[in-house]
Amino acid sequence: MGVLPRNQKAAAAWDSAAAHYERISLHLGDAIDHTILRLAPHAGERILDIGTGTGLAARRVASTGAAVVGIDLGAELIETARRLAPAIDFRVGDAEQLPFEDSSFDAVISTFGIMFAGRIKEAARETARVTRKGGRLALAWWTADSTVSKKFHLHQMFSPVAAPAPSPYHWGAREGIKELFGDAFDLKFELGDTCLRLSSGEEAWEMFEKGYGPTRTLALSLPEDRYREFRRAFIDFYEGCRTELGIAVPREYLVAVGTRR
């Protein structure tokens, strides 16, 4: 099925980071491990990773002996994932129209992936459709008041494109995720924090401008004067979390775990 026409632009934005996105993922390793722990995958299970990126969560789930399928909008991201883990089944595809039969997975995981689907309610319905009865769901989602959400608002100050309404972060609470997934899954929740530790705001800019598709796409679209303003505002934002050793940016997220009815 591939990527739906309406999501081609989003696919290009996420794909612009290509292999550099792996560095972003590695700084989320503890949150990914938290989500996998609560999913509790077993050897022999078939598990889908939605929004797999360069495949870090898929690789860690596969290490339990599960048979993992990773799907993402970005063809370059998927190509990187295949290079890093040739034995895993990575595919280009769309969370809003999953290319799988009904009830074809024992479990589904998405770590900060499905939350960015353009039509999130359709992605939630598709997730439920491909999960077997009694199967499991585990999601990691940035909360609405997290520093990641605040960075999104910083982006919007410089973006010529209006923010999606509601934003992906709108759903980052128990009530929001219940609204999306609660009709199909019995859900439980747990808050988590992952801390981004780098030497400086300058290093944060270098990492995100190169490795995070939305930041990279916005930066490349701006005229020189606005680019400089964006860069300065971005660096100042991260320098607001300076310690004596560098920057330490707390990032709150919500883990939702569900059982398919």
Q: pLDDT of 194-205, one tens digit each?
A: 999 999 999 999
Question: Domain residue spans in the chain?
Answer: 5-144+167-195+252-260
Burial of 44 (0-12, 13-18, 19+ CB in 10 A): exposed
5-144+167-195+252-260 is classed in which CATH architecture?
3-Layer(aba) Sandwich (3.40)
Instruction: Tell me the pLDDT band of 217, cut-offs 50, 70 and 90.
Output: very high
Instruction: Compute the mean pLDDT over every residue in the chain, rounded to the nearest whole number.
Output: 97
- Per-residue pLDDT reduced to its tens digit, 225-242: 999 999 999 999 999 999
Report the distance separating Cα 198 and Cα 152, nearest Å.
19
Q: What is the pLDDT of residue 3?
A: 96
Report the distance separating Cα 261 and Cα 259, nearest Å.
6
User: Does pLDDT of 165 surpass 90?
Assistant: no
User: Does pLDDT of 66 surpass 90?
Assistant: yes
Q: What is the pLDDT of residue 6?
A: 95
Q: What is the pLDDT of residue 160?
A: 87
